[in-house]
Amino acid sequence: MDYNQAQQRVNDLKKFYKNLLWFGIVSLIIFFNDVFEKGRFNITLLDGSIFLAIWAIVLTVKAVKLFVLNSEWEKKILQEEMKKTKQPIQF
């Protein structure tokens, strides 16, 4: 991994962790708002739970991209594919 790739990965991780922090803050606000207004927490489509569900799906996709399908994985798969297609040179 060269410097530019490492810098890009650090920036992507920073953005992911900021997004995760904001998700936690907004989730707590919605949760406590429901608890204080209604006395209980229930999941409804219009209260913000659907918004949190979509946001959670986006965060999950980003997490998989950052931690599972990173550049090391990409290099490993590329090397495996190149090994498969190597054929002896015939003169």
Residue-range domain boundaries for the chain: 3-85
What DSSP designation does 10 have?
A: H
When comparing pLDDT for 14 and 33, which is higher? 14
**What pLDDT digit, counting tens, does each position of 37-84 carry?**
776 656 555 566 788 888 899 999 999 888 887 777 777 777 777 777
Supply 26's token pair.
């907004």
Does the reported pTM lie above 0.75? no
Task: Let me know: does 48 contact 30? Beta carbons within 8 Å.
Answer: yes
